[in-house]
Amino acid sequence: MDLDNCPRCGKLFAKNFRDVCPACIKAIDQEYTLCSDYLRKNKGATITDLADATDVSIKQITKFIKEGRISLIGAPNLMYPCEMCGNLIREHNKCESCRAKLLQEVDKVRPNPPVKETKETTKAPASAASVYRIMDRS
C-alpha cells in the first residue's frame, strides 16, 4: 500500500488513483458543483467573478478548465491566466507573446538549424543496391 500526505490538507492517506485524500476529493467535487451551477446561471461571468461568487480559488477553477470539467464554449468571458505572465487566455498553457519568447530563447540556445535533406544530400548506402526488391522481379 502506497501512503502519502495530501497536498491540500496534509493528512496521511492511502494513495490509489488520485493525488489527494478522499475528503479533499469530496471538497473538490463540491467546488466543481458550485462553479458549474454558477456558470449555468451566469454565462457571461469572468474567472474572477466565478472565484468571488463561489469562494473557489482561481488555481482550482483553472484546473477544472484544463481537465475539461468546465467548458469555455458556453462561457464567452471565461478565461484563465497564462502560466508565465498571468495574462488571461482561452487556450494552451501560455499566451502568444510568452510562447514567442520561449521559441526565441530556444533558437538562441540551438547551435545551428538542421539542414533540410534533399535527394543530393541523402545517398543510399552501398549495400542498398544489392537489396532484393519485389519491383525488381520480372
What average pLDDT does this structure show over 124-138? 57
Q: Looking at per-residue confidence, does 16 or 13 come out higher?
A: 13
The boundaries of the domain holding residue 95 are 81-111
3 in any annotated domain = no
Same domain, 41 and 90: no
Percent of the chain with pLDDT over 70: 80
Total structural domains within the chain: 2
The closest of 102, 97, 95 to 80, measured between CA atoms, is 95
Predicted TM-score (pTM) of the model is 0.73
Q: pLDDT tens-digit profile of 76-125?
A: 999 999 999 999 999 999 999 999 999 999 988 887 656 666 666 556 55
Same domain, 72 and 95: no
Q: Looking at per-residue confidence, does 1 or 89 come out higher?
A: 89
Same domain, 91 and 102: yes
136 in any annotated domain = no
